[in-house]
């Protein structure tokens, strides 16, 4: 034991991600999938699991599955089948979920992630399709509720489950995997990636083993982590909990634990909350799928540029540092925002700086919808940068203008004109201000002549103050130097 | 051989409450069914493809098109209990 505490433990994490696919209709029936409808207004006998109904596979869901599998370089199984997974829980009235078991849609892929500047391929074990289940609202908490309420709108929405290999070595890597995973799905347009609304959900298997050991330790499954932040916090908590238990000589119990985000800990689920005797068997109502080569080839040919490829292109095409390229390609919307702005203002690094420091101060870069609806559209950002370039406003004023653009949605020119922010580049006017400043600051002038060059900065500051920041700094500097040299 | 315990286990998974006599009858019937499977095992199936379906069909799919649902009232009509627009189900966690 003492050698173990000295050498420590390796963390082993595998993630299971469930993604709702952006199809119009459900997996096995024609009910709509739109989020936020009145409870139980988007159901039919098929998705409510009435006896005697016939489910039929949604072709687009299969296409989205193949598309994603190709992006993760998985092998598409030429034959796949659906299976019934049995369990009793009121989120699914027919008491089984149509899923895939022995012959999933795809297997054996990888997703590259970047942690601390190094990139690593994380194995993907399998990718399969299934149907989502209804949503439960408990009267009180699950433990104390005397009854629960059910909305079956979500029941039957196509769900894609992707299981990683236990290749992740820290909560940070798990978060990086999830981010990269989400970005690929969003780029592909197969999922909106919204964790808060539950279109992307993540469970984790966590275990510890003595450093350097090859055998896996006893794993614990963590559920209910509904944001990137919570995934990281929950895994950090669980790793610490297991480390302390092992250090105290305890054994880890294989179990499912729920992350409680409000209280910041994981707790064991009561055994009745889950069952592992699923009794899978082939779904008799759905005939097997034979995925044709030509279909796969056509989907492959139409794959869009993926986040990693786009990031590499940004470095190559725009000469951006890899860090900038990574930030700008975190979502498809942000990458598109950037490229639209660069098309109108052809100085890639300046555009990148403004997006990273100003736009992303206002909006989350991984939120597609927020970026698409940015109050400052790319053309307006380009317009602002042109005003700096042609000397109409200074960079400092431009930052204030940007803030105002965010607030009002107006373009830069309108705001600059209305508020009289145009930079003073009139040399005659500036010379008069400088003369006045020199006359009022004899001490600074004396210091400067005495060799204290820093005193010039103070004088520039006075000129800027007198012009309310609107003086063109280059002209002020030149005129000031000329005048000081003559004194 | 299917034992009494096997029957009880399967009954629990299926949420069935069986009396003593029923358990015994199920045990006998399940054993008879499994016995018949043993009989089937005597067949030579070396050249027969395993199959999960009796019909020679593959790739039955539909286009991703929305069709009208049943109305909320229709879908809730069979609910033994409801609260407004939601189904109400009994306590999930048993003590």
Q: What secondary structure does DSSP assign to A107-176, as a single string?
A: EEEEEEEEETTEEEEEEEEEEEEEE---EEEESS-TTT-SEEEEE-TTTT-EEEEEEE-S-B-SHHHHHH
d(CA A68, CA A362): 31
Domain end point (choices A298, A323, A348): A298
pLDDT of residue B94: 57
Regarding whether A456 and A399 lie in a shared domain, the answer is no
Chain B residues touching A151 at Cβ < 8 A:
85-87
Mean pLDDT of A459-465: 88
Whose CA is closest to A19, among A55, A71, A56?
A71
Contact (Cβ atoms closer than 8 angstroms) between residue A131 and residue A91: no
Regarding whether A342 and A245 lie in a shared domain, the answer is no
In this structure, of A7-21, A286-300, A410-424, B58-72, the range with the lowest mean pLDDT score is A410-424
Residue B58: which of A56, A150, A290 has the nearest Cβ?
A: A290
Q: Of the ranges A266-270, A278-282, B62-66, which is most confident?
A: B62-66
- Classify strands A135-138 and A147-151 as parallel, antiparallel or unpaired: antiparallel
d(CA A277, CA B55): 29
Regarding whether A392 and A267 lie in a shared domain, the answer is no
Regarding whether A310 and A253 lie in a shared domain, the answer is no
pLDDT of residue A421: 80
Regarding whether A226 and A315 lie in a shared domain, the answer is no
d(CA A21, CA A403): 37
pLDDT in tens, A404-455: 999 999 999 999 888 888 877 777 888 888 999 999 998 988 888 888 888 8
Domain end point (choices A419, A447, A472): A419
pLDDT higher than threshold 60 for residue A3: no
pLDDT higher than threshold 80 for residue A212: yes
Chain A residues touching B53 at Cβ < 8 A:
282, 284, 287-288
pLDDT of residue A172: 93
pLDDT of residue A116: 83
Mean pLDDT of A166-190: 95
Phi and psi (nearest 5°) for A336?
Answer: -70, -35
Chain A residues touching B64 at Cβ < 8 A:
23-25, 58-61
Q: Supply A486's token pair.
A: 């003559």
The domain in which residue A342 lies consists of: 305-419
In this structure, of A53-62, A342-351, A432-441, B58-67, the range with the lowest mean pLDDT score is A432-441
Mean pLDDT of A331-354: 96
Contact (Cβ atoms closer than 8 angstroms) between residue A449 and residue A487: yes
Mean pLDDT of A375-381: 96
B interface mutation test: which of A91, A287, A290 has the most B CBs within 10 A? A287
Angle at A182 between CA A157 and CA A179, to 5 degrees: 145
User: Element (H or E) spanning A267, and its range?
Assistant: strand A265-268
Question: How much of chain A, in percent, has pLDDT values that exceed 90?
Answer: 65
Mean pLDDT of B50-56: 83
Contact (Cβ atoms closer than 8 angstroms) between residue A300 and residue A70: yes
Contact (Cβ atoms closer than 8 angstroms) between residue A108 and residue A125: yes
On the CB side of A252, CA atoms within 13 Å amount to: 24
A interface mutation test: which of B15, B79, B87 has the most A CBs within 10 A? B87
Confidence tier at A5 by pLDDT (50, 70, 90): very low
pLDDT higher than threshold 50 for residue A170: yes
User: Element (H or E) spanning B10, and its range?
Assistant: helix B4-13
Regarding whether A316 and A245 lie in a shared domain, the answer is no
pLDDT higher than threshold 50 for residue A1: no
Mean pLDDT of A56-60: 98
pLDDT of residue A2: 43
User: A373: Cβ–Cβ under 8 A, 6 or more apart, which residues?
Assistant: none
Mean pLDDT of A33-56: 94
pLDDT of residue A392: 85
Q: Give me the sheet containing B86-90, strands edge to edge.
A: A135-138, A147-151, B86-90, B82-83
Confidence tier at B95 by pLDDT (50, 70, 90): very low
Cβ–Cβ below 8 Å for A138 and B69:
no
Q: Which fold has domain B1-45?
A: Histone, subunit A (1.10.20)
User: Element (H or E) spanning A205, and its range?
Assistant: strand A200-210
For chain A, the domain total comes to 3
pLDDT higher than threshold 60 for residue A369: yes
pLDDT higher than threshold 90 for residue A385: yes
pLDDT higher than threshold 80 for residue B70: yes
Confidence tier at A142 by pLDDT (50, 70, 90): low
Cβ–Cβ below 8 Å for A287 and B60:
yes
- Rounded (to 5) percent helix, strand, coil in chain A: 40, 20, 40
Chain B residues touching A136 at Cβ < 8 A:
92
pLDDT higher than threshold 60 for residue A4: no
Over chain A, what is the mean pLDDT? 91
> What region does A224 belong to: left with phi over 0, alpha with psi -120 to 50, or beta?
left
d(CA B2, CA A385): 80
Regarding whether A255 and A313 lie in a shared domain, the answer is no
Regarding whether A210 and A68 lie in a shared domain, the answer is yes
Phi and psi (nearest 5°) for A82?
Answer: -95, 155
Q: What is the domain-level CATH number for residue A452? A: 1.10.10.410
Cβ–Cβ below 8 Å for B66 and A32:
yes
User: Element (H or E) spanning A220, and its range?
Assistant: strand A220-225
Regarding whether A324 and A277 lie in a shared domain, the answer is no
pLDDT higher than threshold 80 for residue B92: no
Output A7 or A383, whichever has higher pLDDT: A383
Q: Supply A351's token pair.
A: 């555009």
Residue A43: which of B55, B75, B93 has the nearest Cβ?
A: B75
Contact (Cβ atoms closer than 8 angstroms) between residue A100 and residue A113: no
A interface mutation test: which of B52, B70, B74 has the most A CBs within 10 A? B52
Chain A residues touching B10 at Cβ < 8 A:
none
Regarding whether A110 and A86 lie in a shared domain, the answer is yes
Q: Supply A392's token pair.
A: 């109409």
| Domain segments of chain B as ranges | 1-45
């Amino acid at each position: 034991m003492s050698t173990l505490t000295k050498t420590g433990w390796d963390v082993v994490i595998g993630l299971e991600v469930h993604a709702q696919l952006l199809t119009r209709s459900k997996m096995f029936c024609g009910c709509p999938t739109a989020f936020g409808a009145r409870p139980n207004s988007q159901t039919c006998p098929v998705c409510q699991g009435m006896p005697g109904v016939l489910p039929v596979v949604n072709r687009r869901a299969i296409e989205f599955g193949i598309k994603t599998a190709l992006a993760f370089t998985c092998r598409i199984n030429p034959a796949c089948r659906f299976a019934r997974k049995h369990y009793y829980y009121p989120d699914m009235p027919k008491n089984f979920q149509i899923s895939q078991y022995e012959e999933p849609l795809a297997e054996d892929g990888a997703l590259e992630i970047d942690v601390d500047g190094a990139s690593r391929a994380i194995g993907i074990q399998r990718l399969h399709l299934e149907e989502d289940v209804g949503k439960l609202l408990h009267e009180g908490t699950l433990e104390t509720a005397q009854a629960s309420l059910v909305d079956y709108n979500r029941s039957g929405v196509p769900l894609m489950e992707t299981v990683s290999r236990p290749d992740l070595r820290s909560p940070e890597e798990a978060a990086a995997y999830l981010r990269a995973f989400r970005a690929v799905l969003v780029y592909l347009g197969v999922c909106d990636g919204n964790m808060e609304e539950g279109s992307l959900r993540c469970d984790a298997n966590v275990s510890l083993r003595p450093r350097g050991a090859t055998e896996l330790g006893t794993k614990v499954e963590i559920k209910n982590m509904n944001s990137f932040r919570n995934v990281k916090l929950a895994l950090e908590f669980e790793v610490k909990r297991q480390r302390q238990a092992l250090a105290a000589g305890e054994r880890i119990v294989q179990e499912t634990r729920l992350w409680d985000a409000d209280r910041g800990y994981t707790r064991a689920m009561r055994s009745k909350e889950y069952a592992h005797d699923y009794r899978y068997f082939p779904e008799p109502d759905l005939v097997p799928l034979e995925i044709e080569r030509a279909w796969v080839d056509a989907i492959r040919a139409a794959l869009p540029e993926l986040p990693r490829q786009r990031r590499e292109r940004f470095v190559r095409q725009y000469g951006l540092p890899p860090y900038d390229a990574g930030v700008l390609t975190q979502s498809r919307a942000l990458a598109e925002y950037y490229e639209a702005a660069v098309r109108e203002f052809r100085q890639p690094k300046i555009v990148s700086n403004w997006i990273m420091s100003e736009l992303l101060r206002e909006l989350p870069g991984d939120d597609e919808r927020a970026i698409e609806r940015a109050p400052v559209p790319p053309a307006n950002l380009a317009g602002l940068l042109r005003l700096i370039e042609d000397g109409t406003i200074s960079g400092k004023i431009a930052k204030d203008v940007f803030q105002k653009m965010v607030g009002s949605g107006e373009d830069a020119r309108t705001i600059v004109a209305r508020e009289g922010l145009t930079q003073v580049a009139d040399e005659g006017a500036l010379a008069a201000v400088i003369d006045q400043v020199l006359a009022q600051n004899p001490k600074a002038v004396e210091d400067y002549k005495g060799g204290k060059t820093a005193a010039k900065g103070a004088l520039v500051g006075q000129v800027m103050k007198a012009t309310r920041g609107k003086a063109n700094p280059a002209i002020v500097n030149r005129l000031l130097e000329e005048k000081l040299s003559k004194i | 051989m299917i034992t009494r315990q096997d029957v009880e286990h399967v009954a629990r998974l299926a949420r069935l409450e069986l009396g003593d006599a029923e358990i015994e009858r199920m045990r006998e019937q399940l054993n008879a069914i499994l016995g018949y499977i043993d009989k089937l095992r005597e067949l030579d199936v070396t050249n027969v493809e395993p199959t999960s379906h009796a019909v020679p069909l593959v790739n039955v799919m539909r286009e991703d098109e929305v069709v009208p649902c049943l109305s909320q009232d229709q879908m809730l009509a069979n609910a033994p209990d409801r609260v407004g627009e939601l189904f109400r189900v009994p306590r999930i966690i048993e003590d």
